[in-house]
Chain A
Amino acid sequence: MLWIPWGKMLKNEASPHISKTTHLPRKRFYRARAHSNPLSDSHFPVPVSPCHVDYCLHYPQLFPSSDQSVNSKIQFADIGCGFGGLLISLSTLFPETLMIGMELRDKVTEYVKERILALRVENPGQYQNVSVVRTNSMKYIPNYFEKGQLSKMFFLFPDPHFKEKNHRRRVISPHLLDEYAYTLCIGGIIYTITDVEDLGEWMKACLEGHPMFEAVRDEELEADPVVKLLSSATEEGQKVARNGGQTFQAVYKRVVPSL
């Protein structure tokens, strides 16, 4: 795993990358390119299988030693978590649920990692259930989660990949949905949102056409506190709201396919 031990980073308090007033990492030091090619061969380590995911590294307070058997597993995954806005909101909304963000750009992952660390220090006892990992989720989802392990998956403001030639790089695609359906439990929910109308239609069409996903009904959407976070919690969502842009969301439930 590409992990700098958490403790080591904590000592580094005088780092100029950390704001003196909020003690949170400052984004300007973690600027990254907006896009990353998910097709390129990756050179970071990947756990061999879900049982090789080191929970004690991700959630040190909840799993103090690595030999301890893991009695609760990660249930929420934010795919392409960016700067981690949604995760931070979810962490306090579902304090008992383990969640992880997956991000391909290493600088951004680094930022989220620092952010979580700082929040843990500032708010003792909180944010222990949230972590982040640098990985290519389009390739390695089965290495992190078992069949039916996840109850929620988030795809917020993914890279639109406008060109038709690059559509296969989109994180929601008919074939990748098979893998997401595999990792989601029956009744698990997949949340997608974008400010690009084309992509919104594409994601909706992919989910609609998939036999293992069914649209979540409006009244359920109303009742789900997470739905409100989709457009408000993330950095990307706030930017869209600031500019008065439109968003397109698709929320689908994993169902047993009818024969």
Chain B
Amino acid sequence: MEETSIMEDGEQNREMEVAPALIAVHPTQESVAVAVGSDLRVFDLKTGSPVHLVDDTAEPFHRDSIRAVRYGAKGKLLVTAGDDKLVKIWHTDAWSCICTVLSEKRVSAVAISNDGLFTCFADKFGVVWAVDLDGFHDNQSSASKKAVPILAHYCSIITSLEFSPDGRFIISADRDFKIRVTVFPKKTSDGAHEIQSFCLGHSEFVSCIAFVGASDYPDGFLVSGSGDSTVRLWDITSGSLLDTCEVGAEAGSLGFPQSNGKEDECCSAITYLCAIPICSLVAVAIQGLSGVVLLSCNLSEKTLSITQVISIKGETFIPTSIGTSSSSDLLWMVTGVSNLQGFNSSSLARVKAISGFTKLNQVSGEIELTVLEDKDIPGGMQLLEKLQGSVKIEEDVFLAASETLKTAMRNLLIKKQYSVEKREFRKRGRNDRKNKR
């Protein structure tokens, strides 16, 4: 009896695997892409119309949850990848898929090098692969390319991949707590063997990394968010920790309602962060927090501190992903999950935007940031209809989603912990024990 219940438990978990919604913003805000489950939705802000994607090789484009969406630094390319082990590279002019790369394992993170010559992706085995994009820029070819493995985290799932602004390094963060800074090789086929540093200090999974920079600090500094509810600032050349911001604790003390006051281990985990290039700010999403926390990064003093907590009222809006362009005034956020049980709509995606960051640059001190009303978002209702799937979303869907989301994030970021009994049970099926019974 007991055995079957344990088994079912495990299988149910697999069935209920839920992917959080993702958002990516074109570097000059020409378009916005949202991924919910296997669905990729793009809205063109220049023409103010939804984008029709073209992929000759497959329909639907992705057969399983998309786990990563990224624009290249120049905005010419968009990369999507996920659980169907496909990495798709889209050209943003014609919105056609110019290349599909097959991965051996599920893909957990992607990045495009700043010069647009390479796409890197990380798989579930912790291996980072590089794809040479040379020859794909003429918007023509639709061949499949081979990826080459360049580095590996030993069996820890990579949560985030990033190129340093000068393009010298590739940075990978994992579910153990490691951040590895590797010299990006001139020839990817040789592999990336030279480790510049490890940024060690987090005591839980690292969920996301980003570079904060400013005009006088073009190389920028690395920031990382983690399940230990801190955001840390790093010097990647030496791997030394410059500052730690206890976001979880401090956001709580700023009078932000912690969810039910329950001291859950992932209650205040940092699930996402995004650097806002125009003002050296970092927007941080925290598990269970309806809104975002803004951290300011003082690059000359090398410190991080909370400047503002922007709460979203009237809705339970816990962002699953945040994005911004390199110059615009807007911070885009999405919350959502790939599947919801017991509701008409099978998935949820809700997009919001915050404006006012350019004003912040000019006047120091208290700044007025506004969470835009739906009608004020660029692209308006048309954009929402495309990216969300529908304009209006019921409140109870949000509440259901926020619970699902919690489990989804936990599955995504936290390693499975088995109780002693479960561990024994799993061992029982092992070949060397079978004979004993």
Contact = CB atoms under 8 A, between A and B. Distances in A.
Contacts of B155: 38-39, 138-139, 168
A182 B195 contact: yes
A232 interface: no
Interface in B159-194: 176-178, 180, 182, 190-194
Given A168-B125, A178-B193, A257-B193, A142 B154 contact: no
Contacts of A181: 193-195
Most buried by A among B177, B193, B195: B193
Interface in B38-90: none
Given A39-B155, A48-B200, A175-B154, A139 B195 contact: no
A49 B201 contact: yes
A220 interface: no
Contacts of B197: 147
B200 A212 contact: no
Interface string A175-217: 1111101100000000000000000000000000011100000
A159 to B, nearest CB: 15
B152 interface: yes
Given A138-B154, A175-B151, A178-B151, A257 B194 contact: yes
Nearest to B190: A211
A143 B198 CA distance: 9
Interface string A138-154: 11001100010000000
A31 B239 CA distance: 40
Nearest to B203: A48
Contact of A41 (B149, B180, B192, B416): B416
A174 B152 CA distance: 9
Nearest to A138: B154
Contact of B198 (A38, A142, A175): A142
A220 B394 CA distance: 75
Contacts, number: 59
B193 A139 contact: no
Interface in A121-149: 138-139, 142-143, 147
Contact of A48 (B149, B152, B191, B201): B201
Nearest to B416: A41
B154 A212 contact: no
Interface in A35-71: 38-39, 41, 48-50
Contacts of A175: 127, 149, 151-152, 154
Interface string B200-220: 111100000000000000000
A168 B127 CA distance: 11
B156 interface: yes
Contacts of B154: 38, 138-139, 175-176, 179
Contacts of B176: 139
Nearest to A52: B200
Nearest to B183: A257
B392 to A, nearest CB: 43
A142 B151 contact: no
Nearest to A212: B193
A212 B127 contact: no
Contact of A210 (B156, B192, B193, B198): B193
A139 B126 CA distance: 11
B194 A212 contact: yes
Contacts of A142: 178, 180, 198, 200
Contacts of B193: 177-178, 181, 210-212, 257
Contacts of B416: 41
21 contacts: A38-B154, A41-B416, A48-B201, A48-B203, A49-B201, A138-B154, A142-B178, A142-B180, A142-B200, A147-B195, A174-B191, A175-B149, A175-B151, A178-B151, A178-B182, A178-B192, A178-B195, A181-B193, A211-B190, A211-B193, A212-B193
In the A-B complex, the 6 residue pairs with the smallest Cβ-Cβ separation, listed nearest first, are A175-B152, A49-B200, A182-B195, A142-B198, A178-B193, A138-B154
Interface of B: 125, 127, 149, 151-152, 154-156, 176-178, 180, 182, 190-195, 197-198, 200-203, 239, 415-416
